[in-house]
Amino acid sequence: MGCVPGMVAYMGTAAALPRRVAIARKVRAQPRRLIPLAVVVLALIAWAGYRAWAARQPYTWAGTVEARDIAVGSRVGGRVKEVLVQEGERVEAGQPIVQLEAGDLNAQRLQAEGQLLQAQAALDKMMGHTRPQDMGKTRAQGGPARVEPRPPLTGSLAEQVARARAELTAAQVALDKAELDARRARSLFQQQVNTRADLDTAEASLRQARATRDARHAQLQELQQGTNADIRAQQGAVEAARGRLEAIDVALNELTIRAPLAARVESLDLRPGDLLQPNATAATLVEDDQLYVRIYVPETHLGKLRPGSEVPVRVDSFPGRTFTGVVENIASEGEYTPRNLQTPDERAWQVFATRVGLREEGQQQLRSGMAAYVTVPK
């Protein structure tokens, strides 16, 4: 019977063992249930940290370095005679780049010059010896009147006009005298002092003087108004010949392709003997101080930029370096977006093309086509 207490103690310990095991299991399972909660907490902390870090980061927009280039060529074209510069070489304003062969243009110019001289000589001769055709009038009373012949007009057109005006004045004076004589003859005939023959003679002289005055007046008008069709036609021939000569001079000048301003030769793929078509590009020039970066700014961030503000520019070719850029222009119309925008996310689809000009250092070291990044602090 002495072993009963020991047995009781053992049985009590055995009965409490499952409870202890359950408690231990609960204690061991408690950290596993906390793991998801800890992961969520850590994720929230990381997300908050990222938001705080992102909030301090500047806005960055990717773009491309572009250049304002000039395509030069000839309006007449022709065979390349000489290439005077090479790719990458700097040229000054007016410097020859390519020389084309003249072909038969020089011969055409000689012909046009000769035609101009001939036309001008014919016009000078015509202006110096032109005589308007004598004109006459027919009166109802007394029949046709005979106009006194006059010598051919010589000298320049101005001298002819002055002479015709003087002759008109003399004819008017003669007409006034003839009218006075006719009135006197009528009065004497009514008084039976003169005979009918004397009256007819006076009236015939009056008709003659009137016809002469009218003819001189018509001649003067013809000279003053320049109605001579031959002179006008010859003047047109002179102008046409002069125009042909000037057109050939322009074509001869187009044979030399020159740089319109100071620039760098970007591309020039011509050799002597090549045929260049009219208005085709002979060389591409890049202007000085004309490199810029083209970026596209979302509508939601458009207020971060304004024309005239300086922004840093980075390129992959020069890591660790920044170049100074100046916002030159922001497009007034958006791109790549529907017309009806409702939410801020949709408005972010709308972008505005922005041109950022480069300062002197960037103009010298950067090249067109490079990827560039423009940053703006928040």
- Six token digits for residue 269: 């793929």
Question: Taking the CB of residue 334, how many other CB atoms lie within 10 A of it?
Answer: 19
Specify the pLDDT at position 220: 81
Query: Which of 210-219, 229-238, 257-266 reaches the highest mean pLDDT?
Result: 257-266
Specify the pLDDT at position 272: 94
Residues 286 and 266: beta-carbon distance below 8 Å: yes
* Distance from C-alpha of 286 to C-alpha of 368, rounded to nearest angstrom: 9
Cite the DSSP H helix spans in 191-228: 196-225
**Res. 97: pLDDT tops 90:** yes
Beta carbons within 8 Å of 340's beta carbon, 6+ residues apart? none
Q: What is the pTM of this model?
A: 0.54
Specify the pLDDT at position 244: 93
Interval 30-35 mean pLDDT: 64
For 94-112, give one letter per residue: b (16+ CB within 10 A) or e: ebebbbbebeebeebbeeb
Specify the pLDDT at position 136: 39
For 1-12, what is each residue's pLDDT tens digit? 454 555 545 455
Residues 289 and 361: beta-carbon distance below 8 Å: no
Question: Taking the CB of residue 52, how many other CB atoms lie within 10 A of it?
Answer: 9
Residues 211 and 171: beta-carbon distance below 8 Å: no
Beta carbons within 8 Å of 242's beta carbon, 6+ residues apart? 116
Specify the pLDDT at position 347: 53
Specify the pLDDT at position 341: 46
Question: Taking the CB of residue 305, how many other CB atoms lie within 10 A of it?
Answer: 20
| DSSP code for 349 | T
Check residues 277 and 205 and name the one with the higher pLDDT. 277
Which of 15-24, 41-50, 82-91 comes out lowest in average pLDDT?
15-24
| DSSP code for 335 | B
Check residues 362 and 80 and name the one with the higher pLDDT. 80
Residues 329 and 352: beta-carbon distance below 8 Å: no
Interval 228-244 mean pLDDT: 85
Banded model confidence at residue 59, pLDDT cuts 50, 70, 90: confident
CB neighbour class for 13 (10 Å; exposed up to 12, middle 13-18, buried from 19): exposed
Specify the pLDDT at position 93: 92
- Six token digits for residue 307: 């024309």
For 123-174, what is each residue's pLDDT tens digit? 887 766 444 443 333 333 333 333 344 444 445 566 777 888 888 898 888 8
Banded model confidence at residue 327, pLDDT cuts 50, 70, 90: very high
| DSSP code for 134 | P
Banded model confidence at residue 221, pLDDT cuts 50, 70, 90: confident
Which of 27-41, 212-226, 244-258 comes out lowest in average pLDDT?
27-41
Specify the pLDDT at position 36: 76
Specify the pLDDT at position 138: 33
- Six token digits for residue 64: 């491309």
Interval 58-70 mean pLDDT: 86
**Res. 28: pLDDT tops 80:** no
Residues 270 and 276: beta-carbon distance below 8 Å: yes
Specify the pLDDT at position 24: 61
Report the C-alpha dihedral over residues 20, 24, 25, 27, rounded to 10 degrees.
140
For 343-359, what is each residue's pLDDT tens digit? 555 555 788 889 998 88
* Distance from C-alpha of 355 to C-alpha of 175, rounded to nearest angstrom: 85
For 104-117, what is each residue's pLDDT tens digit? 999 999 999 999 99
* Distance from C-alpha of 32 to C-alpha of 275, rounded to nearest angstrom: 84
Q: Which helix (H) or strand (E) holds 317?
A: none
- Six token digits for residue 228: 């001579």
β-strand 263-267 against 90-91: which pairing, if any?
antiparallel
* Distance from C-alpha of 277 to C-alpha of 290, rounded to nearest angstrom: 28
For 76-92, what is each residue's pLDDT tens digit? 989 999 999 999 899 99
Banded model confidence at residue 315, pLDDT cuts 50, 70, 90: very high
**Res. 310: pLDDT tops 80:** yes
* Distance from C-alpha of 361 to C-alpha of 364, rounded to nearest angstrom: 5
pLDDT above 90 covers what percent of the chain? Answer: 27
* Distance from C-alpha of 309 to C-alpha of 330, rounded to nearest angstrom: 12
For 188-214, what is each residue's pLDDT tens digit? 878 777 677 777 888 888 888 888 888
- Six token digits for residue 39: 């992961």
Per the prediction, the chain carries an average pLDDT of 79
Residues 115 and 248: beta-carbon distance below 8 Å: no
